[in-house]
């Protein structure tokens, strides 16, 4: 979703900050629903469920919470893996 320009109203990279992304506070429920669909969930994902998943990713070290509302940063290892996978899909 971060690479899709049509999703910029929901989630977007933070300019001039490596691996940092921010969710829109007005569209966070839409992001959760789309993320649930992308993951293949049978039940619709809510923002509360998505935030729990984000906390779990933070515990595992894949992302870090940035001290701004709805803002997170990928770990360097995760960012490298994402870039490698993205290049493989192009």
Residue-level pLDDT at 88: 67
Pairwise CA distance, residues 34 & 68, whole Å = 23
Q: Write out pLDDT tens, residues 62-74.
A: 999 998 999 999 9
Mean predicted confidence (pLDDT) in 18-39: 90
Pairwise CA distance, residues 50 & 40, whole Å = 14
Residue-level pLDDT at 89: 61
The answer, yes or no, to whether residue 79 has pLDDT greater than 90, is no
Mean predicted confidence (pLDDT) in 47-74: 93
Q: What is the pTM of this model?
A: 0.81
Residue-level pLDDT at 4: 87
Mean predicted confidence (pLDDT) in 33-62: 92
Mean predicted confidence (pLDDT) in 28-54: 91
Neighbouring residues of 2: CB distance < 8 A, sequence distance ≥ 6: 11, 12, 13, 21
Q: Which fold has domain 5-89?
A: Arc Repressor Mutant, subunit A (1.10.10)
């Amino acid at each position: 979703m971060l690479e899709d320009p049509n999703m910029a109203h929901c989630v977007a990279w933070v300019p001039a900050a490596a691996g940092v992304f921010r969710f829109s506070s007005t569209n966070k429920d839409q992001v959760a629903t789309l993320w649930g669909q992308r993951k293949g969930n049978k039940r619709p994902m809510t923002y509360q469920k998505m935030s729990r998943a984000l906390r779990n990713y933070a515990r595992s070290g894949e992302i870090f919470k940035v001290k701004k509302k709805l803002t997170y940063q990928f770990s360097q290892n995760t960012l490298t893996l994402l870039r490698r996978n993205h290049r493989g899909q192009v």
